[in-house]
Amino acid sequence: MQKISLDSLPDVLSPKDVASVLGVGYAKALYLVKHGGIVHIQAGNHYLVSKVRFIEWVNADTTRIIDTQ
């Protein structure tokens, strides 16, 4: 799993992009998108996340404990 910088991201992210930025696996990133408060659009089985909204979520002044069990 390779981390990537926010500047190099496309304007619309996939859960795979989210995983790369956060340094977590795909399954955990998908869970965060579906249940962790990351604003997204669902198109069929595809989840799309706005880069701007994702950066806002990352920089939010809150602590999150998300149970993925």
Give pLDDT tens digits for 32-46.
999 888 999 999 999
Whether residue 12 is predicted with pLDDT greater than 90 in this model: the reply is yes
Strand order in the sheet with 12-13: 12-13, 46-50, 41-43
User: Model-level pTM?
Assistant: 0.79
Yes or no: say if 54 and 12 are a contact pair by the CB < 8 Å rule: no
Q: What is the pLDDT of residue 8?
A: 85
For domain 8-59, give the fold.
Answer: Arc Repressor Mutant, subunit A (1.10.10)
